[in-house]
Structure 1
């Protein structure tokens, strides 16, 4: 009975979205499971590791089936296609059974050694424990600069603040997980949803390591798209700002029109030059196109929400 209880309600669930990671999974399990088993905490005897295969084209599911047969604490979901990391992470959170849930990456750049301090903070009564990188030395200059700019921009535009240099790596108490599971939006930015939920939050700093196996699936374009999703899902300021821009341009136009009228009255009719006319037309046209593009971003997200399609589809589940 006690064993069944531990299996049904583990203390901790690690959620790992994976895509084409057959080489990284065995190394991850051989490092993570012994570390969890040595914890001076009930988690050592009651945990599960839930992988979400997000449409892999290699042997990822084969490796996970073998791992599940060896150790039933290793569970897996196989999605019907590649839905993206945010959807895969949502699927993992929806199916996690633990009293606490930690989203994690199989590359172990976020070190396993940061997990015990997170659990300790949780035991002290914190509902959310956020992992915050104390440096970004493993990133190039451009990525460091763009990440810093994004965090500052997001927090300036949104009421739902996210800690700088924090990713999805964090511990979430079950009551926080239950709140996140009620959020129905299809355009997901998980760090923003975590921030919106609130609750009693603590932080744990750590040093991120270089990736040892595989390659990152997040290129520049995916990061850019994720940044757009983060800002548009968390704030309507980009829409509102163009009202102010339009007002300032209109005011400038009125001032310039008054200047032309006064100049015409004093000096007579003056024919404007072609260059100044083209500059004005191109400038106003650019403003209109930028504002339409921002409006289009929001309209596109409205379309996605109104379709009410499932965020993900599970093809196979191991360790039900």
Structure 2
């Protein structure tokens, strides 16, 4: 197998026909040496039925149905583990990232690169808040991370087998795939493109999930938040020392304390710093707890390559 195309899907029943049609054209030059893997991440609509219908007419297509919704990054991991190709192409089912860019990515990989990622030059159809929050996310991530992660990128990329094997060797449960590929190194390069507006369905990354992904990214690739908590505690101690000096000076000068407002402000500020520090520590402790349990990352309930539904346990 030369090429594997991996696409995680969540409630994308309307997008599947167009997705498969465009992928058929993209993989046509490789004929039987290519495969398409669509991973249904516990959809609640007819996404799986659409995948099965597409597989009946496209022999290179394989469908995997997860036993429950595990999130985009885990669904992507499931598809990557099932991929058999020497080169692996990743994209989302919404077609905002053009699969036709594969030819250019292939050309770059022929020049010796192991990872060719799409870099978003423009983001059509997105609100100013979405663009601003995405920009802030990547800049804050690189500020806090020990690994340089390319800005304005997603999981849209073509990777070599050795780069993928390196990522799959990483056992963590809270996965941030684009960061994991940045961490493994090898030769990497970006290709700029214009990200199209979504034409069907709705985004699967509301603000809540974006914040969760950002937390996974920052705590998974850096201990700087812990060092930030330590610095904040020193700042708090410094401010407290200055306030003690002010209080002592007031007592010696027989000056009455101006009022309760300063006390309330000080208590609120210190309480906020303490809670922030506890929150940062909690994020890391929570990750340790998840890793220590060592539960399987996901289960596959159905595979179109098998005649009957199966229960496959993986990543124990």
Global fold match (TM > 0.5): yes
Matched, 1:88 2:75: yes
1:101-143 deviation digits (Å, cap 9, x = unpaired): 1111122111122111001111111111011111123321001
Q: Does the residue aligned with 1:52 lie in a helix, a strand or coil? A: strand
* RMSD, matched Cα: 1.6
Paired residue for 2:90, among 103, 110, 118? 103
Query: 1:315 maps to which residue?
Result: 301
Query: 1:70 maps to which residue?
Result: 57
Matched, 1:210 2:197: yes
Matched, 1:187 2:141: no
Question: Quick one: distance in 2 between partners of 1:107 and 1:278?
Answer: 50
Query: 2:280 maps to which residue?
Result: 294
Query: 2:26 maps to which residue?
Result: 35
Is the CA contact 1:77–1:314 (under 8 Å) kept in the aligned structure 2?
yes
- Cα offset for 1:168? 0.2
Number of residue pairs the alignment of both structures matches: 306
1:201-229 deviation digits (Å, cap 9, x = unpaired): 11111111122222222211111111111
1:249-284 deviation digits (Å, cap 9, x = unpaired): 21222233233334433x237456222222211221
Paired residue for 2:118, among 103, 111, 131? 131
Q: TM-score, normalised to structure 2's length?
A: 0.92
Matched, 1:58 2:45: yes
Query: 1:12 maps to which residue?
Result: 3
Q: Does the residue aligned with 2:248 lie in a helix, a strand or coil? A: helix
Decide whether aligned partners of structure 1 residues 252 and 59 sit closer, same or farther in structure 2, where only a CA change above 3 A counts: closer
Paired residue for 1:24, among 15, 21, 28? 15
Query: 2:35 maps to which residue?
Result: 48
Decide whether aligned partners of structure 1 residues 255 and 57 sit closer, same or farther in structure 2, where only a CA change above 3 A counts: closer
Question: Quick one: distance in 2 between partners of 1:271 and 1:83?
Answer: 56
Q: TM-score, normalised to structure 1's length?
A: 0.91
Question: Quick one: distance in 2 between partners of 1:175 and 1:279?
Answer: 55
Task: Mark the runs of 5 or more structure 2 residues left unpaired by the alignment.
Answer: 307-316
1:13-50 deviation digits (Å, cap 9, x = unpaired): 1100001222211111112202321x4xxx35521100
Q: Does the residue aligned with 1:260 lie in a helix, a strand or coil? A: helix
Paired residue for 2:133, among 146, 170, 176? 146
Question: Quick one: distance in 2 between partners of 1:73 and 1:33?
Answer: 9
Decide whether aligned partners of structure 1 residues 261 and 116 sit closer, same or farther in structure 2, where only a CA change above 3 A counts: same
Question: Quick one: distance in 2 between partners of 1:122 and 1:15?
Answer: 18
Is the CA contact 1:107–1:211 (under 8 Å) kept in the aligned structure 2?
yes
